[in-house]
Amino acid sequence: MRAIDFHVGLGLRGVKFHPSLHAFAPDEERYWPIFAACQRYGLVALFHTGTSGIGAGQPGGQGIRLDYSRPIRLDAVAAAHPDLTVVAAHFGWPWHLELVAMAVHKTNLYLDISGWSPRRVPAELIAEIRGRLSHRFLWGSDFPFLTPERCLDEITSLGLPEAVLNRLPYGNAARILGHRLGGRCRCAPGRRPRRRRRRGRGAAPGYSSTRRVIRMAWAPCGKSRRSMDSTRKRRIS
């Protein structure tokens, strides 16, 4: 509990739990005072779910138990703490449909697609990202295992509607973290940068508005316009 108080004092917005590595079952009620504290302070509770690269291919998986990170263990947590934002990292593969059922049932549960190449995300989840759960998916690269550039390029190749492209890289995360969309943060995808045209020249070929918006989603806040412009020029060339 002191660790939670320390998090709050630092101004951090969430806590990550790795049930398999920490060797605990989130649905055991003896751990719930921690989750209750997260709920009380408005902290996001992010849980590793699904398989683990750590221990993979080793005898006994180095003693790491995957069942601790099965998504269904978060169902009781989300039910008992309705004001707690629960994020299931890596979408719980191979139990991802279990997680979809939970997200449809409980509005305080979100799915994170980090750690996966977007083009390898299961088709069932892509359908949910396009449809009824488009407001409940979050993106992260899991850098350095995958670079943001690669992931964002692959996201734009999925043929997602522009509204979803605005939500997935930034909008949904901004909402649960309490960031104002369209506020001071210039990286919000809803605020498109004005296209600069040189005299006598059109916009750079092959540089679509959707790609520009989604790339802006991961540009650090406070980055100068000149720096962002030069970054865009390097990627176009």
pLDDT in tens, the chain (237 residues): 778 888 788 888 999 999 999 999 999 999 999 999 999 999 999 999 999 988 898 999 999 999 999 999 999 999 999 999 999 999 999 999 999 999 999 999 999 999 999 999 999 999 999 999 999 999 988 888 889 999 999 999 999 999 999 999 999 999 999 887 654 333 334 444 344 444 444 433 343 433 433 333 433 344 433 443 444 444 443
Predicted pLDDT at 182: 59
Helices (H), the chain: 2-10, 19-22, 32-41, 73-80, 96-105, 123-130, 148-156, 162-166, 172-177, 209-216, 225-236
Burial class (CB in 10 A: 0-12, 13-18, 19+), 24: middle
- What does DSSP assign to residue 71? T
Specify the pTM.
0.74
Topology of domain 2-188, CATH: TIM Barrel (3.20.20)
Structure tokens at 201: 């020249």
3-class secondary-structure state, position 16: strand
Predicted pLDDT at 66: 95
